[in-house]
Amino acid sequence: MRFELVLFDLDGTLVDTAPDIADALNRVLELRKLPAMPEAWVRSRIGHGSRQLLAQSWAEATRLVSGDEAPAPLAELVEEFGRHYVDCCGRRGRIFPGARTALAQLRRAAVKLALLTNKERRFAQLVLDAHGLAGDFDLEICGDTLAAKKPDPLPVRHALRHFGVPAARALLVGDSDIDVRTGRAAGIAVWGVSYGYGSGPALERAGPDRIIGSLAQVRAGAYSPRASSSSLYLRSSPRN
């Protein structure tokens, strides 16, 4: 199978953003005299966008303090989180090994690259800028780009229409069951990364076409000498 388009999730797939997200989130909570959330707790809940993460964090923190969940002033929390994330983004987060090289080699093979994230555009742009990934994608689809986000198939279908690529020639690379469900709903192949936030049993149960331990496997482990100048040959293979 020759894939002409590869779509990448961002958080937990290309960049380990959890430390910076946790820092910004906990600044919001601590300024309101609420307990901080452990980074592992935050890491396990990344993937649905900042509003949902803030709502979950507020609910958990207020329950810890009073035993009851207090109504969340979400608009204020999102605004405050945004200010702190500007300061925290890129401080402790790191791009995953192999990500930069994988993107560069795919681009040299003339494969179209799309970013597919549920992160709001302003926050996604912060991450791309902080880690030197700005301009690496032919198309960026964020959580607030379209009327629906992952796991709805709309973002993938938008990318397919944008590039004029059939579903059989597209691959989604992500770290969670959300990514797998998105790819399945859109009828494209899905590879899961074993190191991400949604990895482990949940990813296994979701049933991606393949699970890889590094993005290097997207480039080095999947090249074929038959690849044309306009597509990358990725061998169809069962999950590891």
Q: Which two tokens stand for residue 202?
A: 């949940």
CA separation (Å) from 100 to 20, 92, 94, 107, 128?
20, 18, 11, 11, 11
Longest dimension (CA), the chain: 63
Q: Are 85 and 25 in contact (CB under 8 A)?
A: no
Closest CA to 12 of 93, 79, 78: 93
Q: Please, are residues 37 and 57 in contact by the beta-carbon 8 Å criterion?
A: yes
Q: Are 154 and 176 in contact (CB under 8 A)?
A: no
Strands 189-193, 232-233: parallel, antiparallel or unpaired by DSSP? unpaired
The beta-strand segments (E) located in 84-132 are 94-95, 112-116
* Alpha-carbon gap, residue 68 to 2, rounded angstroms: 53
The number of C-alpha atoms within 13 Å of 112 and in the hemisphere containing its C-beta is 21
The set of catalytic residues is: 9
**Assigned token pair, 143:** 């959580």
